[in-house]
Structure 1
Amino acid sequence: MKATATRPKIMVTGGGRGVVGHAGARLLTDLADATGLTSAFGEALAGLRQRQGGHDPGRIAVDLAVMLADGGETIADLAVLRNQQALFGPVASDPTAWRLLSQLDDTMLAELRTARARAREIAWAQHADTHGDLPQPMVAGQQVDSLVLDIDATIVISHSEKESATRTWKKTFGFHPLLCFLDNTGEALAGLLREGRAGSNTTADHITVLDQALAQIPDAHRHGTPILLRSDAAGSSHGFLAHIRGLREQHLDIRFSVGVAITEPVREAIRAATGWIPAVDTDGDLREHAQVCEITGLFDAAGWPEGTRFVVRRERPHPGAQLSLFDTVEGWRHQLVATDTPPGNGSIQHLEALHRAHARVEDRIRTGKNTGFGRFPSRVFAINQAWLQLALTGIDLLAWTQALLLDGDLATAEPKKLRYRLLHVAGRITRTARRTRLAIAANWPWTDALTSAFNRLAALPRPAG
């Protein structure tokens, strides 16, 4: 068979000079410096420095976070940064990185969370100076003028015996972390590593993750901006919702929108419901074969916070949909949402669509598993806890890069696209007139985007001191 095209013939040698790979990842290290993350981590971990002239523990932590953001999966992947000192400077050895992770106890992890919050405040201030207000999520064609927090759990499979890796509710083996993402920007605000058998609707865990997430939000936004907490039915425990209501007594304008299990009293309420209206799709247009109705007051809601409203959605099931016996008999697939958003703050169509947008967190988790928390490196649970926090840091670095430095499709692209187009690109290092230059190939389609990002990075206002 005759070939229609051939690749150019090449001869491979090892004599190249000044050539570096993963050149775009330098953007992440410099952004960590520009937002004060590197210095904040350094202060948080200053007590761990082993000797004068040794690696700064905060810098090691940042390098690990950058490696995870760049797609690395194990500590051994630090070699990509370490063996390019002309681009990344001195990078710790694998044993040194392991030693740091083994020293990060609960107190140190709390210090790292505080450091992340400090850097986030600077990143948000830089965004305000250069771009204006934070992005607002769009739901059903309308802007949501809130900070939208999404809490969800996921299963991370473990293929070997590890401390606290146990059988999961899906009959797999591993961990069951609980996470919180900010829908506005894609930032990973908080995460709690849990054993595999941890319950899905554990009130204490949800409270811990929410409180840690709120602590990540700068004061001016936490107390001056409406906040919406979304969760699936795992977040509908009465204790958790009571905690959210208690936060409002602390002058936080926070509301909830959570999934609810459909019990027999709810089924009776659905059967008795009248006034069904068409649901709306992602563009805000009326959706055929899907309807919504408010059933507040049609069943006993004892235990729910005062003012909780219940909105049910029914739609004709798509082929292959998993249906309950009730759904099969009725011929509709039903979903129930509880919210304490008061009447007059959006139609029930919009409230239901707003909750359905919680599904975006599944994409955050999917890409997060490719940014560090899809596998945990150690048999020791404490080390894996530290690994999770650095993975969340890497996700934040990607989110800040997109919010502060990129435009167009790249500003909303998934991490894999960023890596293939920007972070993994090769370049050439040259030194002239006491200056080091990094040159990206002129014919690379995303060279302009990358050079523009570095220019914007250089122009960012820096934190005082």
Structure 2
Amino acid sequence: MTVLDQALAQIPGSSSAKILIRLDGAGATHDLHEHMEKLTTTRRRVRFTTGWTITPTDETAIAELPEHAWEYSLKQDGDLHDDDHSGVAELTGLNRREGWLKGMRLIVRRVRPSGRHTENLTSLEKKTGWKYSIIATNITKLWGVAGSHQVQWIDALHRHHAVVEDRVRTNKAMGLHNLPAKSWTANRSWMLAANVAADLDAWLRLLALHDQDDLADAEPQTMRMRIYHQAGRLARHARVRHLRLDASWPWATTFTLAWNRLTCQPQTT
């Protein structure tokens, strides 16, 4: 709850009227759900989706679902999965677990289990041949968004949360894969430096390389090879410093473009 409040505090007031919070299964707690519900005020509407730990009660409810209750799931581009690969269904009201938010919806998703799931399948999953997961949400309908009440739409919305794994991978590449010291203080400093580096990398691509197809979403290793390790020489002439780049470097023009865009950014006040 503290981390969530600190994250929300960083959002500019002009963008805080409509908030969507997406969390994995660690977010499925009574206290956090109630806290997120209380964040809604007359000036701010907060909606959330979280993962959900499946219990035997949930599995009993899933087993009661008729086959016609299952819908094809959506891809991230909005198209339907056209094979017998996955499905979604409304589970709200069937599992009757007390003490949770009134009006909260539960949406169950099923997929064909992969090899890594084999050892962790429950009896129901082995029997049906499906791997199940559940989403908890307070979304009933988003104003102005057609179809936002449908289970397929909410399922696709929640699954897009997986993009955070890209940032986790980026931070690991920036130094968080291993901590260098046994000292808590030294590791805190290292972690801060690594996060600053990840932020700078993200802002560089957002502000200066957003229209460069091969760099807008580039991984840190690519950015290092093409931009950060750019060969150059800092020279002085007539009391003016000049950055001289190797003209044969394939990304010299891109580096120059990024440099000019960043230096033209307005000064922060």
> Same fold, TM exceeding 0.5?
yes
| Cα separation, 1, equivalents of 2:180 and 2:3 | 23
Report matched runs for 1:21-36 at 5 Å: none
1:300 aligns with 2:96: yes
Q: Deviations over 1:30-53 (max 9, x none)?
A: xxxxxxxxxxxxxxxxxxxxxxxx
Who is 1:266 aligned against?
58
Pairing 1:280–2:74 present = yes
Deviation at 1:329, TM superposition (A): 1.2
SS of equivalent residue, structure 1 residue 286: coil
* Greater relative CO (CA pairs within 8 A, separation 6+): 1
- Cα 1:279–1:308 shift into 2, 3 Å: same
Partner Cα separation in structure 1 for residue 45 and residue 176 of structure 2? 31
Equivalent of residue 397 in structure 1, options 171, 188, 200? 200
**2: distance between equivalents of 1:318 and 1:379?**
38
1:333 aligned to which of 124, 128, 131: 131
Indicate which of 330, 339, 348 corresponds to 2:151.
348
Compute the displacement of 1:356 (Å): 1.3
**Identity across the alignment (%):** 40
Q: May I ask how many residue pairs the two structures share in their alignment?
A: 256
Report what 2:108 is aligned to: 312
1:424 aligns with 2:216: no
Runs of 4+ in 1 over 4 A off after TM superposition: none
Q: TM-score, normalized by length of structure 2?
A: 0.88
List gaps (5 residues or longer) in structure 1: 1-206
For the structure 1 residues 355 and 410, does the alpha-carbon distance in structure 2 shift closer, same or farther, using more than 3 Å as the test? same
Which residue in 2 is equivalent to 1:95? none
Cα separation, 2, equivalents of 1:440 and 1:303:
64
Deviation at 1:390, TM superposition (A): 2.9
Aligned partners of 2:170 and 2:198 also within 8 Å = no
Aligned Cα root-mean-square deviation (Å)? 1.8
Q: Deviations over 1:349-399 (max 9, x none)?
A: 111011112222222112211213222233332332333233222211111
Partner of residue 145, structure 2: none
What are the superposed Cα offsets for residues 115-159 of structure 1, whole Å, 9 maximum, x if unpaired? xxxxxxxxxxxxxxxxxxxxxxxxxxxxxxxxxxxxxxxxxxxxx
Cross-structure match for 2:164: 361
SS at 2:266's partner residue? coil
Give, in whole Å, the separation in 1 of the partners of 2:141 and 2:235. Answer: 63
Residue equivalent to 1:208: 2
Whether contact under 8 Å (2:234, 2:241) holds in the other structure is yes
Alpha-carbon distance between aligned partners in 2 of 1:380 and 1:294, rounded to the nearest angstrom: 49
For structure 2, the residue ranges without an aligned partner over 5 or more in a row are 143-147
